[in-house]
Structure 1
Amino acid sequence: MVNRLQKILIVEDEQSIQKLLEFTLMQANYETAIAQDGEQALKMVMEESPDLIILDLMLPKIDGMDVCRQLRNRDIDTPIIMLTAKGEEMDKIIGLEMGADDYMTKPFSPREVAARVKAVLRRTGERAKPKDEMLEAGQLLVYPNRFEVYLEDSPLEFTRKEFELLVYLMRHPNRVLTRGQLLQAVWNYEFAGDTRIVDVHISHLRDKIEENTRKPRYIKTMRGVGYKFGE
């Protein structure tokens, strides 16, 4: 399997800087795309889905600050490195407040470009990683992303549907859930009309997590309605 090269969108109207950035990034093993003005940049972000944007402040049609503002207002969190003129301290501050992740001051060296792009991609990549969610109730610990369940520190084994049902119940604690709701959430109506499948799986869960299945601690039956998870 061939790994996809990360794509950097260069938004710069000055050709000499444009060529320097393009050459530097291609040497550093990135794919590049170029926008000549702010209007084109906004369009290309939507079409190209770049991994990072190098954004000059002084652009035709729409300036870099407004491009950054519009992207963040649209909840587009693609990392942005802004290019600022030497000594324009206020531009740097405003850019970062607008949502830019870093900035470079002109003139800059190719080595600085590669280092900053790598650092921002690493930092934002860590930020984007899904959190290792943990669900806890009494002595019961569930890690949905790892497909792991522990009861009093001992690992338990579940079928996929048992696990999905347990996770759904734990994510909705102290809430009465009907059999129909559970069918829709876990089975996506795969067994439409047959609510017995829910009862069977609840019974299996109780066998594994309850000390006394006749007096369940975690999964309680709400007669005539459904089930409720709560210690």
Structure 2
Amino acid sequence: MRILLVEDDRRVSSVMVSMLQRRGYEVEHAATATAALEAAPCDLVLLDMNLPDGDGLDVCRALRARNDQVGIIAVTARAEERDRVTGLRVGADDYVVKPFSMAELEARIEALLRRSVRHPPPAREVAEIGPLRIDHAARTVHLDEEPVTLTRKEFDVLASLARQPGVALSRERILLDVWQTTWSGKHTLEVHVASLRAKLGRPDLVETVRGVGYRLRA
């Protein structure tokens, strides 16, 4: 997941960038409205409303007009109800008032990202992908017609990958699908993938995509 942080306060931006990177996010920082509008596409924007060269409301409006799918969280000292209402009306998905805790911000980011993946591509009730046969309703897996016994989370990881076979899914996307959070215990996903590969007996079926996540070989 790629986050654009739009914040002109160096001290605040430094803390936020560090926190987000520790959580595994890729972060681009923009200190001005101009830089925010020139930034590369992202998955989510944390947007300060008080910028040195423009109003954050205008930036929010422009970002929303450009991409109606990107998540936008207004992060600002403007605490009046009318400010909140205006921010939401011009396109923000959520509104966080300074000062805030990093725990609160992280929870709001995760909630917004969960909403963005609430309707993943529908899984066929029974999917046949190469030698794999996955029955999503019965929660059973067969490999070359032989049953494979998986734990609940191992099945959920496989099901997440099976929704889009051949497509590389980010670590964060899989965590959201399976654990409903992007911040699970250290190496939680890696441990489950390793166990899944061992039980399948075909490590090549679940491929590691360096710098991204995992892919189920189509």
Q: What interval of TM-score do these two structures reach, taking the shorter chain for normalisation?
A: 0.5 to 0.7
Note the residue ranges of structure 2 that are not aligned, 5 or more in a row.
Answer: 129-218
**Structure 1 partner of 2:118:** 126
Deviation at 1:31, TM superposition (A): 1.3
**Structure 2 partner of 1:93:** 85
**Structure 1 partner of 2:12:** 17
Alignment TM-score, normalising by the size of structure 1: 0.50
Structure 1 or 2, whichever has the larger Rg, is 1
1:43-85 deviation line (CA, Å, top 9, x unaligned): 10xx2x2111000000122321101111222344210000121
**Structure 1 partner of 2:65:** 73
1:61 paired with 2:53, answer yes
1:7 paired with 2:2, answer yes
- The amino acid across from 2:32 in the alignment is D
Q: Secondary structure at the match of 1:53?
A: strand
- The amino acid across from 1:36 in the alignment is A
**Structure 2 partner of 1:116:** 108
Quickly say closer, same or farther: Cα 1:68–1:87, change in 2 above 3 A. closer
**Structure 1 partner of 2:194:** none
- The amino acid across from 1:30 in the alignment is Y
**Structure 2 partner of 1:180:** none
Quickly say closer, same or farther: Cα 1:113–1:75, change in 2 above 3 A. closer
1:167-189 deviation line (CA, Å, top 9, x unaligned): xxxxxxxxxxxxxxxxxxxxxxx
| Contact 1:20 1:110 survives alignment (8 Å) | no
- The amino acid across from 1:52 in the alignment is L
Alignment TM-score, normalising by the size of structure 2: 0.53
2 CA distance for matches of 1:115 and 1:42?
A: 26
1:37 paired with 2:32, answer yes
- The amino acid across from 1:74 in the alignment is R
2 CA distance for matches of 1:29 and 1:10?
A: 15
Aligned residues: 128
**Higher RCO (CA < 8 A, seq sep 6+):** 2
2 CA distance for matches of 1:78 and 1:87?
A: 24
Instruction: Work out the percentage of aligned pairs sharing the same amino acid.
Output: 41
Deviation at 1:25, TM superposition (A): 0.8
Mapping 1:153-192, distance limit 5 Å: none
- The amino acid across from 2:19 in the alignment is T
1:130-177 deviation line (CA, Å, top 9, x unaligned): 468xxxxxxxxxx8xx79xxxxxxxxxxxxxxxxxxxxxxxxxxxxxx
Q: Secondary structure at the match of 2:4?
A: strand
